[in-house]
């Protein structure tokens, strides 16, 4: 029997093609998008503005299936981490992060990651698979509809597991659904794609969809970046800066890029590197987000101490860069940046926590 199509990951355009294929009018696509992503309805039989023969036909050839929630962990400050099981058996994680006026969802685009940045738990795990568009938008769907007591998501960041630009088409398809007024209606400011710097795909992203861009820079010089973000050997800093300039000029100076810079004790946190960073970014419209390193089992790095973090931050601010220090959220449930591995659970002090995959 032919496999049923999962319509959850279809953008408006793709749904219109689908309905064309089954010889139904185009407007069905708009109706379906609303049912799924605004009302949270995934059973065809409940879609009352579809006639019965159509509902039955849809149920024969298609499904609307979000991925499965395996476990949910809540941290004391309200951050919620979901362990999600994909059809393949791989596990990924997503994190709901409450802030004053926002509810941010940090989503995964791949199970594992091939890029092996030396400070990242996901990288240490290796690559398992690319998520489908249904598995990516499915995280947003679950965050909105899985628990009816939860408020809706206002912001989405592709900062969970995986390198989004190495899973380009499904990431773009899901971002289109996030933006669509008939679905989640999130403005481009509220969707951020974070990348370690896959320059050809940054250029492709620029011309494909208008979303916010975050670059995981972490070092201002190639010798150091080659070491901690190995993809830098293929796409060195000069190429990366060019792609950033290309993005900024495409939007005629109306955009700013977020530069992410992790602070690892004794590795990339010296005042000299801070000064080099200001030189490198002098012509780039950006804000800098400093992220104190989050430790994980098997890593030899430690977080920079407070004095060094402040000194680094002050050098950037004195040169006029808007600089923020990311407050670490979700530490207690290993849901902070770079701690996501989607593996193993164990009971600690009677409380269930997600454990990192051990690195052999």
Binding site residues, ligand SAH, CB under 6 A: 119-120, 159, 163, 194-196, 216, 260, 262, 291, 293-294, 337-338
Output DSSP code: residue 333: G
Distance CA 17, CA 28 (A): 11
**CB-nearer residue toward ligand SAH: 240 or 262:** 262
Tokens encoding 41 = 């309805």
Shortest CB 106 distance to ligand SAH, Å = 8
Q: In angstroms, what is the minimal distance from the CB of 116 to ligand SF4? A: 6
What DSSP designation does 113 have?
-
- Any catalytic annotation for residue 113? no
Minimum separation from the CB atom of position 236 to ligand SF4 (A): 16
Strand partners, 73: 81
Angstrom distance (rounded) from CA 58 to CA 44 = 7
Residue pair 94/81 in contact (Cβ under 8 Å)? The answer is yes
Are 242 and 257 a contacting pair, CB within 8 Å?
no
The residue at minimum Cβ distance from ligand SAH is: 338
CB of 6 or CB of 243, closer to ligand SAH: 243
* Closest of 51, 44, 34, 56 to residue 6, by C-alpha: 44
Report what 155 binds from ligand SAH, ligand SF4, none; CB cut-off 5-8 Å by kind.
none
Question: In the complex, what is the shortest distance from the CB of residue 213 to ligand SAH, in angstroms, rounded to a whole number?
Answer: 10
- Residue closer to ligand SAH (CB basis): 133 or 340: 340
Q: Which two tokens stand for residue 248?
A: 């900024």
C-alpha closest to that of 359 among 161, 164, 112: 112
- Which DSSP symbol is given to 50? S
Burial class (CB in 10 A: 0-12, 13-18, 19+), 328: middle
Please choose which of ligand SAH, ligand SF4, none residue 323 contacts, taking the beta carbon within 5 to 8 angstroms, the exact cut-off set by kind.
none
According to DSSP, the β-strands at 286-292 and 345-348 are unpaired
Element (H, E) at 145: helix 133-145
What is the distance between the alpha carbons of residues 71 and 347, in angstroms, rounded to a whole number? 13
* Distances in whole angstroms, Cα of residue 122 to Cα of each of 118, 185, 193: 10, 30, 17
Residue 337 contact, options ligand SAH, ligand SF4, none, Cβ 5-8 Å cut-off depending on partner type: ligand SAH
Give the dihedral of Cα atoms 194, 197, 200, 205; nearest 10 deg: 10
Instruction: Report in angstroms how near the CB of residue 64 gets to ligand SAH at its nearest.
Output: 27
Catalytic annotation present for 93: yes
Picked from ligand SAH, ligand SF4, none, the partner binding residue 131 (CB below 5 to 8 A depending on kind) is none
Contact of residue 260 among ligand SAH, ligand SF4, none (CB under 5-8 Å per partner type): ligand SAH
Q: Which chain residues interact with ligand SF4 by CB under 6 A?
A: 113, 115-117, 120, 122-123, 162-163, 196, 216
Nearer to ligand SF4, 263 or 315 (CB): 263
Q: Which is nearer to ligand SAH, 38 or 305 (CB)?
A: 305
Looking at residue 99, what DSSP letter applies?
-
- 125 vs 132, beta carbon nearer ligand SF4: 125
Catalytic residue among 113, 120, 244, 337: 337
Q: Report residue 81 CA to chain centroid gap.
A: 14
Choosing from 93, 128, 173, 260, which is the catalytic residue?
Answer: 93
Of the pair 173, 334, the CB lying nearest ligand SAH is at 334
116 binds, among ligand SF4, ligand SAH, none (CB under 5 to 8 A by kind): ligand SF4
Q: Which does 192 bind (CB under 5 to 8 A by kind): ligand SAH, ligand SF4, none?
A: none
Which residue number is nearest to ligand SF4 in terms of Cβ? Answer: 123
- Which residues are annotated as catalytic? 93, 337
């Amino acid at each position: 029997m032919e496999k049923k199509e999962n319509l959850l990951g279809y953008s408006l355009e793709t749904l219109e093609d689908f309905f064309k294929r089954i010889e139904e009018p185009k407007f069905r696509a708009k109706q379906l998008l609303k049912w799924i992503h605004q009302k949270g309805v995934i059973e065809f039989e409940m879609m009352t503005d579809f006639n019965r023969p159509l509902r039955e036909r849809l149920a024969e050839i298609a499904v609307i299936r979000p991925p499965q929630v395996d476990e949910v962990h809540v941290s004391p400050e309200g951050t919620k981490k979901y362990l999600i099981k994909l059809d393949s058996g791989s596990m990924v994680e997503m994190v709901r992060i409450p802030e004053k006026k926002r509810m941010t969802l940090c989503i995964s685009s791949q199970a594992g990651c091939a890029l092996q940045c030396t400070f990242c738990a996901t990288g240490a795990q290796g690559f398992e698979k690319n998520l489908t568009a249904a598995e990516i938008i499915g995280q947003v769907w679950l965050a909105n509809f899985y628990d009816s007591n939860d408020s809706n998501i206002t912001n989405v960041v592709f900062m969970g597991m995986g390198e989004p630009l190495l899973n380009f088409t499904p990431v773009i398809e899901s971002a289109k659904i996030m933006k669509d007024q008939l679905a989640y209606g999130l403005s481009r400011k509220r969707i951020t794609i974070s990348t370690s710097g896959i320059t050809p795909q940054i250029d492709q992203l620029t011309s494909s969809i208008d979303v916010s861009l975050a670059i995981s820079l972490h070092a201002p010089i190639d010798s150091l970046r080659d070491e901690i973000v190995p993809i830098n050997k293929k796409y060195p800093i000069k190429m990366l800066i060019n792609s950033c300039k290309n993005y900024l000029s495409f939007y005629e100076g109306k955009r700013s890029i977020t530069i992410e810079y992790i602070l690892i004790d004794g590795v990339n946190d010296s005042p000299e590197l801070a000064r080099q960073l200001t030189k490198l970014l002098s012509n780039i419209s950006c804000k800098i987000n400093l992220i104190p390193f989050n430790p994980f089992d098997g890593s030899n790095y430690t977080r920079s101490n407070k004095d060094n973090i402040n000194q680094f931050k002050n050098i950037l601010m004195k040169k006029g860069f808007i600089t923020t220090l990311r407050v670490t959220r979700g530490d207690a449930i290993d849901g902070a940046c770079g701690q996501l591995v989607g593996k193993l659970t164990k009971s600690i002090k009677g409380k269930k926590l997600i454990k990192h995959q051990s690195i052999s």
